[in-house]
Amino acid sequence: ASLVDKATSDLLIGPDWGRNLEICDALNNDPGQAKEVVKAARKRLAHKNPTVQLLTLTVLETLVKNCGDAVHQQVAEKDVLHEMVKIVKKRGDLSVREKILGLLDSWQEAFGGQRGRYPQFFSAYDELRRSGVDFPQRQDAPPIFTPPQSHPITAYPAPGFRSFLLCCSLADLDSARSGMEVLSEMLNAIDPRDKSALREELIVELVEQCQRTQKQVMHLVSTTSDETLLFQALSLNDDLQKVLAKRDAMASGATPAAGKQPEAPPAPVFPRVEEEGEDDFARLARRFALSFQKLSFDTPPSQKPAKLGSACSETKRSPSTRPDSRPSSPANENPASFQQQPSNGAAPATSTPQPLPPPPQKNSQRQQFFQHH
């Protein structure tokens, strides 16, 4: 009875498959306990909480599938079916009603209908059908009963194989993950130095549930061929291992390994030579641009480069001006008095040539004039 109460606790988020299979193991090893277990399940089925009712229906479904005639007889005779019919007629929670209708339909068919070994299942189904209740459409489901053993066994098989049959969907893994996340949040909320908080009933229940789930997940990993299911199972197993390790560390008084924050990797250090070279180049480019801009704005129009045609005419007018002359450095001279200088280092030429005196009128004086000039 205590196992049934724990498997149907209102604190659970989803079915506790480990606890359910533990009940199956106990009944298969000792069928005499079937009466007490089914009676406890009937009481939990009358609970007003829909979550408790759904968990109880899951327990009954698991027992009928995995246990023998002792359980089938107790379910048929101990007012369990009557309680299920009463819940449907009261129009309680929709999910609970759908679950009951699905179980009654599958059970009455599996037990042979009206002329079967346990006609009580058909009677409950037929009572609801005649009252106008619409049963949900049947879906492909695994057999109600597990195949019988071909030879007697001295010990009941380990629940790993059955857990693989029952806990083989992504929804079941999600439910198990939800319980693990609740435990993780509770461990984060309590003081790591307060060991008494770890003995709270809910934390103890969640720890036991996670331990059973981890065993089932490990068996699932070694038997499944579904890649998606395998990936989810491996991820869940890693998370379960971390949470359980954290709980064990808190119980022993050590600092949980999960609480250590990973150190950030050091920032990469680049050679400083490259940065300085790049800065020098940028600084040189800016200085050149500023100097060129200042020179363009400060140089008078008469000193700016002329077009090709005007350059030729200027050369004819001013023969003293040389084409290879360069502007003097702006640092030494005022740009307003910018003049051209010859490249050979001679004295700078005047901007306007001196006019020649007129030639003499006499022939002898003209010859002397041209000889001197």
**What's the residue count for the chain?**
373
Q: What is the mean pLDDT of residues 45-62?
A: 91
The verdict on 196 and 89 lying in the same domain is no
Q: Grade residue 72 by pLDDT with cuts at 50, 70 and 90.
A: very high
Same domain, 49 and 179: no
Last residue in a domain, options 235, 256, 277: 256
Q: Which domain holds residue 236?
A: 170-256
Residue 330 lies in a domain: no
* CATH code for position 72: 1.25.40.90
Best-predicted range by mean pLDDT (59-68, 112-121, 132-141) = 59-68
Residue 87 lies in a domain: yes
Residues 284-298: tens digit of each pLDDT: 566 656 555 555 545
Confidence of residue 338 (pLDDT cuts 50, 70, 90): very low
Flag whether 118 is in a domain. yes
Q: Give the per-residue pLDDT at 352.
A: 53
Sign of the Cα torsion 65, 47, 5, 14 reads positive
Choice among 3-12, 18-27, 117-126, 291-300 with the minimum mean pLDDT: 291-300
Find all residues with CB under 8 Å of 259, minimum gap 6, and list them: 192, 246
Let me know if residue 275 belongs to a domain. Answer: no
In a domain, 324, yes or no: no
- Furthest-apart CA atoms within the chain: distance in Å: 163
- Checking if the pLDDT of 164 tops 70, the result is no
In this structure, are 189 and 79 located in the same domain? no
Q: Is 303 a member of any domain? A: no
What pTM value is reported for the model? 0.46
pLDDT of amino acid 53: 92
> Residues 100-133: pLDDT tens digits?
999 998 898 888 877 778 889 999 988 988 888 8
Which residue in 354, 18, 332 sits closest to 160, CA to CA? 18
Q: How confident is the model at residue 354 (pLDDT cuts 50, 70, 90)?
A: low
Q: Residue 335 in contact with residue 299, Cβ under 8 Å?
A: yes
In a domain, 356, yes or no: no
Which stretch, 98-102, 280-284, 344-348, has highest mean pLDDT? Answer: 98-102
How does residue 253 score in pLDDT terms, banded at 50, 70 and 90? Answer: confident
Token output for 22: 């533990």
What per-residue confidence (pLDDT) applies to 58? 92
- pLDDT band at residue 283, thresholds of 50, 70 and 90? low
CATH of the domain at 234: 1.20.58.160
Do residue 68 and residue 200 come from a single domain?
no
Give the per-residue SS3 of the chain: CHHHHHHCCCCCCCCCHHHHHHHHHHHHHCHHHHHHHHHHHHHHHCCCCHHHHHHHHHHHHHHHHHCCHHHHHHHHHCCHHHHHHHHHHCCCCHHHHHHHHHHHHHHHHHCCHHHCCCCHHHHHHHHHHHCCCCCCCCCCCCCCCCCCCCCCCCCCCCCHHHHHHHCCCHHHHHHHHHHHHHHHHHHHHCCCCCHHHHHCHHHHHHHHHHHHHHHHHHHHHHHCCCHHHHHHHHHHHHHHHHHHHHHHHHHHCCCCHHHCCCCCCCCCCCCHHHHHHHHHHHHHHHHHHHHHHHHHHHCCHHHCCCCHHHHHHHHHHCCCCCCCCEECCCCCCCHHHCCEECCCCCCCCCCCCCCCCCCCCCHHHHHHHHHHC
Distances in whole angstroms, Cα of residue 76 to Cα of each of 68, 115, 218, 248, 373: 13, 14, 36, 45, 146
The answer on pLDDT for 321 being more than 50 is no
Task: Give the number of domains in the chain.
Answer: 2
